[in-house]
Amino acid sequence: MISRFFIIPVIIAIGLSVTVLFMNFEEIAETKLAGVDADKDKISDRVDNCPKIKNEDQDDFDQDAVGNPCDPDDDNDGIVDVLDVFDDNPEEWSDFDFDGIGSKEDPDDDNDGVIDSMDEAPVPVSEELVATYLENIQECAKMNDGTSRLLCYSKFFGKVAEDQENNSNALELSIALSKIGLIDDCHFVSHEVGHVAFKENPSVIENLIGMDGTMCRGGYFHGVLAAYFHDVQEDGDPFPSDYNTVCNDLIGTSNYQDCVHGLGHGMVHYFEEDLESSLQMCQDMSFYQDVLCTGGVMMQYTDNVLTRQGISKNVISNLCLQSELDIVDFVECNVSTGITLAFFTDHDFEEGSKLCELIENKQGQNYCLEGLRFEIQDSEKFKAEPLTLDKREKYQPQFVEGGSKVIDIQSPAIISNFQFEPKARLISFVIDRPQYVAMYIPNEFLSSKMIVAVNGQIPDELEVKGNVLGERVSMIRFVPDDSGLVMISPLS
């Protein structure tokens, strides 16, 4: 093999004679490399088994000359470390009941109290699906770019939803992968499951009834509603005049608010970049419905723009212009930008903050950081202790004056026997347990001074605010000591 030489000679003068030496290219490169330490771990890159990531102890579990921090499969068992719960044990990799015992050693794989040898269905559905789609999952996991990886998983979960008869199976898989840390949050990918569900059965309510809205924080619901409005738009049909009743079969359940929030996602699919039209449809609903709906609009809008146009200083600074939005929508838009950026950065606050700081408007920047922080905290809370249906807040709007006006009520408790006497301005209802109650009441239904009593007693924890968010709506929030009769009446 012919060695290459530098064309520039090294000249050494000795007395009056001059000696010209030529240095071998590979020798010079090796000499330079010997002094390079890119990851600053005090080990030369020439001998470092992981030159770009610190590995001071040169740990290499499988002895393949690739240090553990740089090795995507530490134990060489064919399962990438991000999926492998036991990445230093080639005999185990899965633990889908999350009890710390690998599936091969675990006598009760699904933790249902029945040992596997006597269990008719011993393996969790999430474990079965991972085994079925292992190659697809690992293909997405190996992607370095967060946005590309998220889109890969979205497409993958669409395929799972198509293959599975029960949409809950796809959601169970997304929750499991979220707990492992393979996907940073299952909310976004569950949108795709909802899209596919509606495509296969184009009925909003049939797809939502019986589903648990706590799974992936309502993402499936948002996907179903988005697909519904997308189809209406694709068919060239006018915007549905009964859009505000689409979710009515879910009134009184915690899933109702997920459905109303999903309406906002769907409106953006219908009106596309016409943000004003989407917001107007939300504003034509009751106060709290508007709040939920607007949140959905802004989440879908910010996601659409950042996905299509990319994240740059120009794009993100013009996403939520204060000159074009009222103060409430300006705040919500920037908060939603932060929420969207959380998904684009694997819920990494430091990385998301850098993107929020691209926003030129300082107020917008702060609201973006607020949304980013909220989304990360909410995601972590969900992973640690998901809300069950019995603990989750239920949105229970009460329609008065023939349905033209609404008193919005939120509470984990069940509201029954609601009565409103317009002339006496008297509101009464029964709660089935002592849980907080939050109400948004049009000011025209209230006197200037009201008294709130539960079983004749004024609650110790009582808060009243007038003209919430600048609207002619008052908020009353209280925490009762017991279940029973609630009465809100003018103070005589």
**Is the pLDDT score of 269 beyond 80?**
yes
CA dihedral 283, 285, 287, 293 (to 10 degrees): -70
- Give pLDDT tens digits for 127-156: 999 999 999 999 998 887 777 888 899 899
> Is residue 483 domain-resident?
yes
> Using CA atoms, how far apart are residues 340 and 353, in angstroms rounded to an integer?
12
Question: At 386, which helix (H) or strand (E)?
Answer: none
Residue 425 in contact with residue 411, Cβ under 8 Å? Answer: no
> Is residue 420 domain-resident?
yes
Q: For the chain, how are helix, strand and coil distributed in percent, rounded to 5?
A: 45, 15, 40
**Is the pLDDT score of 231 beyond 70?**
yes
> Using CA atoms, how far apart are residues 185 and 180, in angstroms rounded to an integer?
10
What pLDDT is recorded for position 10?
Answer: 46
Residues 193 and 314 in one domain: yes
What pLDDT is recorded for position 388?
Answer: 63
Domain's final residue, options 351, 384, 417: 384
Residues 378 and 404 in one domain: no
Q: Which of 47-51, 264-268, 274-278, 427-431 has the lowest mean pLDDT?
A: 47-51
Domain's final residue, options 384, 406, 426: 384
What pLDDT is recorded for position 39?
Answer: 66
Name the nearest CA neighbour of 398 among 416, 385, 374.
Answer: 416
Residues 358 and 418 in one domain: no
What pLDDT is recorded for position 437?
Answer: 96
Helix and strand counts by DSSP (H, E) for the chain: 15, 12
Question: How high does pLDDT run on average in the chain?
Answer: 86
Q: How confident is the model at residue 346 (pLDDT cuts 50, 70, 90)?
A: confident
Q: Which residue has the higher pLDDT, 52 or 274?
A: 274
> Is residue 121 domain-resident?
no
Residue 277 in contact with residue 294, Cβ under 8 Å? Answer: no
What pLDDT is recorded for position 17?
Answer: 46
> Is residue 19 domain-resident?
no
Residues 372 and 416 in one domain: no
Residues 285 and 204 in one domain: yes
**Is the pLDDT score of 23 beyond 80?**
no
Residues 163 and 275 in one domain: yes
Q: Which residue has the higher pLDDT, 34 or 426?
A: 426
**Residues found in the chain:** 492
Q: Which residue has the higher pLDDT, 226 or 57?
A: 226
> Using CA atoms, how far apart are residues 2 and 299, in angstroms rounded to an integer?
62
Domain with 314 in it? 126-384
What pLDDT is recorded for position 281?
Answer: 96
Residues 277 and 356 in one domain: yes
**Is the pLDDT score of 366 beyond 50?**
yes
**Is the pLDDT score of 32 beyond 80?**
no
| Number of domains comprising the chain | 2
> Is residue 111 domain-resident?
no
What pLDDT is recorded for position 143?
Answer: 85
Q: How confident is the model at residue 389 (pLDDT cuts 50, 70, 90)?
A: low
Name the DSSP letter for residue 480: -
Strand ranges across the sheet with 484-490:
415-421, 426-431, 484-490, 450-454
Q: How confident is the model at residue 41 (pLDDT cuts 50, 70, 90)?
A: low
What pLDDT is recorded for position 224?
Answer: 95
Residues 370 and 443 in one domain: no
- Non-local CB neighbours of 177 within 8 Å, separated by 6+ positions: 126, 130, 137, 153, 183, 186
> Is residue 68 domain-resident?
no
Q: How confident is the model at residue 35 (pLDDT cuts 50, 70, 90)?
A: low
Residues 284 and 188 in one domain: yes
- Give pLDDT tens digits for 396-437: 999 887 656 899 999 999 999 999 998 889 999 999 999 999
Name the DSSP letter for residue 19: E
247 Rama sector, left if φ>0, alpha if ψ -120 to 50, beta otherwise: alpha
> Is residue 361 domain-resident?
yes
Residues 341 and 315 in one domain: yes
Residues 321 and 416 in one domain: no
How much is the average pLDDT of 87-104? 87
Q: Which of 30-34, 104-108, 168-172, 421-425 has the lowest mean pLDDT?
A: 30-34
What pLDDT is recorded for position 230?
Answer: 92
What pLDDT is recorded for position 88?
Answer: 82
Domain's final residue, options 361, 384, 407: 384
> Is residue 77 domain-resident?
no
Residues 319 and 451 in one domain: no
